[in-house]
């Protein structure tokens, strides 16, 4: 999985679906999530819910995106202060780096809404 190239818009859609699954669609609708949405301020995500998200991300994207390394540099406060776009950017860049070719075309993020 780590060798596929994913456009940032596709990663954003996948992370959004995971967030809706974790938080519940009675609280969060997919079209409310943008790259500028922050985990703590906007979503009020609990740290245990972020751990659940990290698990889903690891299952989906595998070791190639080195999510553990990305998160290990931060404490939980810093992690939850991130925006969805920060995470999308890391994953999109990682998948483009490990993809065999055509990577540079697919890393731009959609504008924050």
Partner 1 sequence: MAEVLANSLRFHVQRLPAPADPDPSRPVVVFLHGLVVDNLSSFYCPLALPAARAGHEVVLHDLRGHGRSERPATGYDARTAVADLVALLGALGLAHRPVHLVGNSYGGTLALHAALARPDLVAGLTLLEPPLSGPWVENMLDTLSAAALSLEDSPVPTELHSLRLRKAAQLTAVADALLNRTSLIDDIATSRVFTPGDYARLHCPVLLVCGEHSELLAGAREFLAHAPRCVLEVLPGLGHDVLKESSGVLRTSVLTHLDAVSGALVS
Q: Which residue number, 63 or 113, has a Cβ lying nearer to partner 1?
A: 63
Q: How far is the CB of 105 from partner 1 (least distance, A)?
A: 29
In the complex, what is the shortest distance from the CB of residue 49 to partner 1, in angstroms, rounded to a whole number? 8
Task: Give the nearer residue to partner 1 in terms of CB position, either 74 or 113.
Answer: 74
CA 13 to chain centre: 9
| 8 vs 19 by CB, closer to partner 1 | 19
- Contact footprint for partner 1 (CB under 8 A): 23, 27-28, 42-48, 50-52, 54-55, 58, 63, 68-69, 71-72, 74-76, 79
């Amino acid at each position: 999985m780590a060798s596929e190239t994913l456009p940032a818009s596709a990663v954003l859609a996948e992370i959004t679906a995971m967030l809706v699954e974790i938080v519940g669609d009675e609280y969060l609708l997919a079209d409310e999530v943008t790259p500028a949405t922050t985990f703590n301020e906007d979503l009020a995500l609990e740290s245990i819910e972020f751990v659940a998200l990290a698990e889903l991300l690891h299952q989906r994207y595998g070791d190639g995106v080195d999510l553990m390394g990305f998160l290990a540099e931060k404490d939980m406060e810093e992690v939850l202060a991130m925006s969805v776009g920060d995470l999308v950017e890391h994953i999109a860049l990682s998948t483009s780096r490990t993809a065999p070719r055509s990577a540079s075309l697919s890393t731009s993020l959609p504008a924050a809404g």
